[in-house]
């Protein structure tokens, strides 16, 4: 394939931009004092060359002056790494206060924390730290804390006024993840309540009465927006109050009222890489917007003449062609998930090994959300001279992480997204086209340090048909998890919650119904105790949290814990297409004829056994031996390591809420019964043609080839994941007895219907009644 055949050149995006010195990208390694000094110099030089640098004083001033500020700046302008440092130096961490920065993705939180720690010459976990689900690297001296947006929501459960924080920066706001959207509403409320508490202090100082707020209530004043607060507080007084206020604990008075005394105001900064500031500003009561002047070099865009039948193959060929034909510069390939990235990684290695002697080398580095944090930093490491770095990334590299050195972007135009149909209650992962805004962000990655090229693996006509912007996640996701969190935060009126983009009423009602079905809500719609309270404490999707709770009474909580940990990671096995036979043989050692859940339990047990044998893989030899074990069994070592981390963490939570860990031993029927009792909404029955019909939605589904149940024909199954590709595939499947359904979920299934569907002489596959 020639470019000439495949692509037509388009006009450069924006030719009117200036040059910027690219300096860094190397990882931190033990270096001599001289090298360390040089590196420090380089870091300083790079910091000073970032577009945000010249706005330093202005930004500190604006945050002082405004309770809420919107900061807009192109990817790579220095928002994420620099603004928290400016505010730290600008006095926002006095009296032990913390600057919190939320990220939609764990990788970004970890990699940016590490970068900022290096810039400030401290260790990660000391002054600069991060907190993501299942991993916390902070300490009592942490002042700049990067975290996922979901983690800050969880923190609000324990600290409803987020008192530790002087500033919360919601980064990557344009991504509009479901957690970011909920945070918007929550932070707005917290800011108002904290400002009220200052009003109380102010009145006290002026001889006025304390302001009383009933615990959990939002007072009239606190419903005011940012503008109103501004009106109530002259700027100088407000700034002064911030500087001098000393936090005192809340007083609980005998009459049940709560005194919120002298909390400093919460500063909110919303940062976005796209220009749609108006929506944010309107939502935050006309908040001020600051624009950071960006720098972007021209990027030549290429489209295919014809639609690509196989985007992965097209991406592979294009990558190799760029490598052979184009000038030096790193390549960034956007793929949709871990599995795709890992298979592309193997394909590239295979192809490279066939290159003739003397061809320049390629260094392939993957980056995706579930990559263990110690492996994430490789992406920032510069390739040796004469070697081209090829980064295989999910849309994480679109705006979240800025990787230096990229000159070529390969964009198949797709992204993996969660899609939820509130009518059927079915949530599925699907690979869908990106929006125009995303396509622009992706191509922009090629032009940060010099002119670049972007190869879009779709036609120009297809580009014009893309949506302009991405629909916020809250409008297309299952809301059960956030509704449970809102309830746990004491926000009972979820329908009335101040969302920036309101989810449909139907989606909210469905999630309330779902939580009620799981027993998390009472008849009055309040969080039930202990079930709802315990579910909210576990950092798991409500369905999995409930499964964990149920497993105690089924005496199989050890097995459920292992299964839940394994279900939290992607691709346990890797399956090279040319080694299918070997893979299936290797899988036999673990696979259970009952299904994937028990198979996963077996894999995790075997892995833990192996770890015990060789000890924690600290030294090189042990690491190698573990990797060997993984290779022999076609097991994805990365995924398993992460599953083990998750296992340890959830175990801690379970013990924390006082639940027992019990094993069902060899008797897996109680575990399968527990799976049926937990996931009965995802039950499916066999059809005459070998496909399955999901009982709740009536949808026809097929068992995914990666399942150990593929090719088998059990009468009835439960499953955990629905994937839309050319078919509706189900993954993570376990065989159950159909009669367990009416027994364990009598409100959903009746024995008569089940018997009509499953008795051997039954002809009918009539839909079941709900
Ligand atoms: O947030 P924004 O996209 O505006 O920029 P940033 O993430 O703060 O990145 C600023 C600069 O730091 C870029 O030049 C990155 O290449 C560099 N950086 C880095 O070298 N290593 C990291 N782990 C993060 C950022
Ligand atoms: Mg950023």
Give the model confidence (pLDDT) of 50-68 as tens digits: 999 999 999 999 999 999 9
Q: Does ligand 1 lie within 6 Å of residue 51's CB atom? A: no
Mean pLDDT across the stretch 41-49? 87
Q: Does ligand 1 lie within 6 Å of residue 397's CB atom? A: no
How far is 155 from 186, CA to CA, in rounded Å? 12
Q: Does ligand 1 lie within 6 Å of residue 124's CB atom? A: no
pLDDT surpassing 60 at residue 712: yes
Joined tokens for residue 309: 């039948």
Which phi and psi (to 5°) does residue 101 adopt? -125, 120
pLDDT surpassing 90 at residue 697: no
Longest alpha-carbon distance in the chain: 85
Atom of ligand 1 at shortest range from CA of 399 = 3
How far is 554 from 552, CA to CA, in rounded Å? 5
- pLDDT attached to residue 24: 24
Mean pLDDT across the stretch 367-378? 79
- pLDDT attached to residue 31: 66
Q: Does ligand 1 lie within 6 Å of residue 444's CB atom? A: no
pLDDT surpassing 90 at residue 412: yes
Ligand with smallest separation from the Cα of 403: 1
- pLDDT attached to residue 356: 83
What ipTM was estimated for this complex?
0.98
Atom of ligand 1 at shortest range from CA of 52 = 4
Paired with 362 in beta bridges are 388
User: Residue 480 in contact with residue 532, Cβ under 8 Å?
Assistant: no
- Which region among 49-58, 422-431, 640-649 has the lowest average model confidence (pLDDT)? 422-431
Mean pLDDT across the stretch 617-623? 76
Residues 6 or more apart in contact with residue 487 via CB below 8 angstroms: 494, 515, 520, 521, 525, 526, 527, 532, 536
Give the model confidence (pLDDT) of 663-681 as tens digits: 999 889 999 999 999 999 8
Atom of ligand 1 at shortest range from CA of 75 = 3
Peptide bond into 530 cis (omega under 30): yes
Joined tokens for residue 561: 């814990």
Residues 6 or more apart in contact with residue 271 via CB below 8 angstroms: 70, 71, 72, 73, 79, 80, 83, 169, 170, 171, 172, 173
Q: How far is CA 723 from CA 329, 429, 431, 729, 731, in A?
A: 36, 5, 9, 5, 8
Selection from 8-12, 317-321, 704-708 with the highest mean pLDDT: 317-321
- pLDDT attached to residue 133: 84
Cα(638) to centroid of ligand 1, in Å?
Answer: 26
Residue 685: closest CA among 577, 766, 592 = 766
pLDDT surpassing 50 at residue 244: no
Given pLDDT bands bounded at 50, 70 and 90, which one contains residue 109?
A: very high
End-to-end CA distance of the chain: 55
pLDDT surpassing 60 at residue 224: no
Closest protein CA for atom 25 of ligand 1: 402
Mean pLDDT across the stretch 191-217? 53
Closest protein CA for atom 10 of ligand 1: 78
Q: Does ligand 1 lie within 6 Å of residue 102's CB atom? A: no
Closest protein CA for atom 15 of ligand 1: 402
Cα(81) to centroid of ligand 1, in Å?
Answer: 6
- pLDDT attached to residue 229: 34
pLDDT surpassing 80 at residue 373: no
Q: How far is CA 676 from CA 559, 659, 741, in A?
A: 14, 21, 7
User: Which residue among 49, 77, 399, 402 is best mutated to probe the pocket of ligand 1, counting the most ligand atoms within 8 A of its Cβ?
Assistant: 402
More confident position, 334 or 275: 334
Q: Does ligand 1 lie within 6 Å of residue 80's CB atom? A: yes
User: Which residue among 76, 118, 447 is best mutated to probe the pocket of ligand 1, counting the most ligand atoms within 8 A of its Cβ?
Assistant: 76
Closest protein CA for atom 14 of ligand 1: 76
- pLDDT attached to residue 759: 52
User: Residue 473 in contact with residue 395, Cβ under 8 Å?
Assistant: no
Q: What percent of the chain has pLDDT over 70?
A: 84
Q: Mean pLDDT in the chain? A: 83
Paired with 23 in beta bridges are none
Residue 106: closest CA among 148, 149, 152 = 148
Cα(642) to centroid of ligand 2, in Å?
Answer: 25
Mean pLDDT across the stretch 338-344? 90
Given pLDDT bands bounded at 50, 70 and 90, which one contains residue 425?
A: low
Long-range (24+ apart) CB contacts under 8 A made by 339-342 are 339/570, 339/571, 340/312, 341/366, 341/368, 341/392, 341/393, 341/394, 342/366, 342/571, 342/574, 342/636
Q: Does ligand 1 lie within 6 Å of residue 274's CB atom? A: no
Residue 636: closest CA among 329, 253, 370, 242 = 370
- pLDDT attached to residue 438: 94
Q: Does ligand 1 lie within 6 Å of residue 84's CB atom? A: no
Paired with 365 in beta bridges are 391
Cα(515) to centroid of ligand 1, in Å?
Answer: 40
pLDDT surpassing 90 at residue 216: no
Joined tokens for residue 54: 């010249």
Q: What percent of the chain has pLDDT over 90?
A: 58
Closest protein CA for atom 24 of ligand 1: 112
Given pLDDT bands bounded at 50, 70 and 90, which one contains residue 13?
A: very low
Closest protein CA for atom 17 of ligand 1: 402
Mean pLDDT across the stretch 554-566? 96
Cα(718) to centroid of ligand 1, in Å?
Answer: 44
Cα(401) to centroid of ligand 1, in Å?
Answer: 7
More confident position, 508 or 576: 508
Long-range (24+ apart) CB contacts under 8 A made by 561-565 are 561/647, 561/650, 561/651, 561/654, 561/661, 562/600, 562/601, 562/604, 562/605, 562/647, 563/597, 563/600, 563/601, 563/675, 564/540, 564/650, 565/604, 565/643, 565/644, 565/646, 565/647, 565/650
Which phi and psi (to 5°) does residue 547 adopt? -60, -40
How far is 43 from 404, CA to CA, in rounded Å? 13
Atom of ligand 1 at shortest range from CA of 81 = 8
Cα(109) to centroid of ligand 2, in Å?
Answer: 10
Atom of ligand 1 at shortest range from CA of 112 = 23
- Which region among 393-397, 400-404, 554-558, 722-726 has the lowest average model confidence (pLDDT)? 722-726
Given pLDDT bands bounded at 50, 70 and 90, which one contains residue 764?
A: very low
Ligand with smallest separation from the Cα of 116: 1
- Which region among 18-22, 168-172, 224-228 has the lowest average model confidence (pLDDT)? 18-22
Which residue is it, tokens 């009952």?
594
Q: In what order do the strands lie in the sheet with 165-170?
A: 135-137, 128-132, 144-148, 98-103, 165-170, 267-272, 68-73, 288-292
pLDDT surpassing 90 at residue 211: no
Atom of ligand 1 at shortest range from CA of 73 = 4
pLDDT surpassing 90 at residue 639: no
- pLDDT attached to residue 26: 30
Helix and strand numbers, DSSP H then E, in the chain = 28, 25
Q: Does ligand 1 lie within 6 Å of residue 445's CB atom? A: no
Cα(134) to centroid of ligand 2, in Å?
Answer: 23
Cα(112) to centroid of ligand 2, in Å?
Answer: 9
Mean pLDDT across the stretch 329-345? 93
Mean pLDDT across the stretch 339-362? 89
Atom of ligand 1 at shortest range from CA of 404 = 16
SS3 369: coil
pLDDT surpassing 80 at residue 217: no
SS3 186: helix
Given pLDDT bands bounded at 50, 70 and 90, which one contains residue 402?
A: confident
Atom of ligand 1 at shortest range from CA of 25 = 20
Q: Does ligand 1 lie within 6 Å of residue 81's CB atom? A: yes
Q: Does ligand 1 lie within 6 Å of residue 174's CB atom? A: no
User: Residue 730 in contact with residue 722, Cβ under 8 Å?
Assistant: yes
Mean pLDDT across the stretch 107-111? 91
SS3 723: strand
Ligand with smallest separation from the Cα of 71: 1
């Amino acid at each position: 394939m020639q470019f000439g055949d495949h692509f037509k050149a388009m006009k450069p995006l924006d030719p009117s931009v200036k040059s910027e010195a690219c300096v860094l990208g190397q990882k931190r390694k033990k270096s001599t004092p001289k090298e360390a000094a040089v590196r420090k110099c380089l870091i300083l030089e790079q910091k000073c060359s970032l577009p945000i640098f010249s706005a330093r004083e202005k930004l500190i001033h604006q945050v002082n002056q405004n309770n809420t500020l919107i900061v807009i700046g192109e990817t790579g302008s220095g928002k994420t790494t620099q603004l928290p440092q400016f505010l730290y130096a600008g006095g926002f961490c006095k009296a032990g206060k913390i600057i919190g920065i939320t990220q939609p993705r764990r990788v970004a939180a970890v990699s940016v924390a590490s970068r900022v720690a290096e810039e400030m010459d401290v260790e990660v976990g000391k002054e600069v730290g991060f907190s993501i689900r299942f991993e916390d690297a902070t300490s009592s001296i942490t002042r700049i804390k990067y975290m996922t947006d979901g983690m800050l929501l969880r923190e609000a459960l324990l600290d409803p006024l987020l008192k530790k924080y002087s500033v919360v920066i919601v980064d990557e706001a344009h991504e509009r993840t479901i957690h970011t959207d909920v945070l918007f509403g929550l932070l707005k409320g917290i800011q108002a309540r904290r400002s009220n508490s200052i009003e109380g202090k102010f009145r006290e100082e002026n001889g006025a009465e304390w302001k009383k707020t009933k615990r959990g209530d939002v007072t009239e004043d606190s419903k005011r927006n940012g503008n109103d607060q501004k009106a109530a507080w002259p700027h100088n007084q407000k700034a002064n109050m911030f500087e001098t206020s000393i936090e005192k604990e809340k007083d609980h008075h005998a009459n049940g009222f709560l005194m919120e005394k002298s909390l400093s105001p919460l500063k909110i900064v919303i940062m976005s890489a796209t220009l749609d500031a108006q929506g944010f500003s309107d939502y935050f009561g006309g908040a001020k917007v600051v624009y950071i002047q960006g720098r972007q070099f021209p990027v030549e865009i290429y489209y295919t003449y014809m639609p690509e039948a196989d985007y992965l193959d097209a991406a592979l060929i294009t990558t190799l062609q760029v490598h052979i034909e184009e000038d030096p510069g790193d390549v960034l390939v956007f793929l949709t998930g871990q599995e795709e990235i890992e298979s592309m990684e193997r394909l590239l290695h295979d192809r490279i090994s066939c290159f003739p002697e003397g061809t320049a080398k390629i260094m392939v580095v993957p980056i995706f959300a579930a990559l263990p944090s110690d492996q994430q930093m490789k992406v920032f490491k510069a390739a040796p001279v004469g070697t081209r770095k090829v980064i295989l990334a999910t849309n994480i590299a679109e705006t979240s992480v800025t990787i230096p050195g990229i000159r070529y972007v390969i964009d198949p135009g797709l992204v993996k997204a969660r899609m939820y149909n509130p009518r059927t209650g079915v949530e599925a992962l699907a690979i869908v086209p990106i929006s125009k805004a995303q396509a622009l962000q992706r191509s922009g990655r090629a032009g940060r340090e010099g002119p670049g090229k972007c190869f879009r693996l779709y036609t120009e006509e297809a580009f014009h048909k893309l949506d302009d912007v991405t629909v916020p996640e809250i409008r297309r996701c299952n809301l059960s998890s956030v509704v449970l969190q809102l309830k746990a935060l004491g926000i009972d009126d979820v329908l009335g919650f101040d969302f920036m983009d309101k989810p449909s009423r139907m989606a909210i009602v469905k999630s309330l119904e779902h939580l009620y079905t799981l027993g998390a809500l009472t008849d009055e719609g309040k969080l039930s105790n202990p079930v709802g309270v315990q579910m909210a404490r576990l950092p798991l999707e409500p369905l999995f949290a409930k499964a964990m709770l149920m497993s105690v009474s089924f005496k199989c909580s050890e097995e459920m814990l292992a299964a839940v940990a394994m279900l939290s990671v992607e691709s346990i096995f890797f399956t090279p297409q040319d080694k299918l036979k070997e893979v299936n043989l290797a899988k036999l050692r673990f696979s259970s004829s009952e299904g994937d859940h028990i198979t996963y339990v077996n894999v995790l047990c075997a892995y833990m056994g192996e770890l015990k044998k060789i000890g924690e893989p600290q030294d090189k030899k042990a690491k190698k031996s573990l990797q060997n074990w993984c290779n022999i069994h076609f097991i994805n070592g990365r995924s398993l390591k992460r599953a083990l981390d998750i296992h340890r963490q959830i175990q801690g939570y379970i013990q924390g809420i006082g639940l027992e860990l019990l094993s069902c031993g060899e008797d897996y029927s109680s575990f399968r019964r527990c799976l049926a009792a937990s996931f009965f909404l995802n039950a499916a029955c066999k059809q005459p043609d070998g496909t399955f019909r999901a009982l709740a939605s009536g949808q026809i589904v097929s068992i995914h080839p990666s399942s150990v149940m593929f090719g088998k024909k059990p009468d009835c199954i439960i499953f955990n994941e629905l994937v839309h590709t050319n078919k509706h595939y189900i993954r993570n499947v376990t065989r159950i007895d159909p009669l367990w359904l009416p027994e364990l979920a009598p409100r959903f299934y009746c024995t008569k219907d089940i018997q009509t569907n499953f008795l051997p002489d039954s002809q009918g596959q009539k839909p079941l009644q709900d």
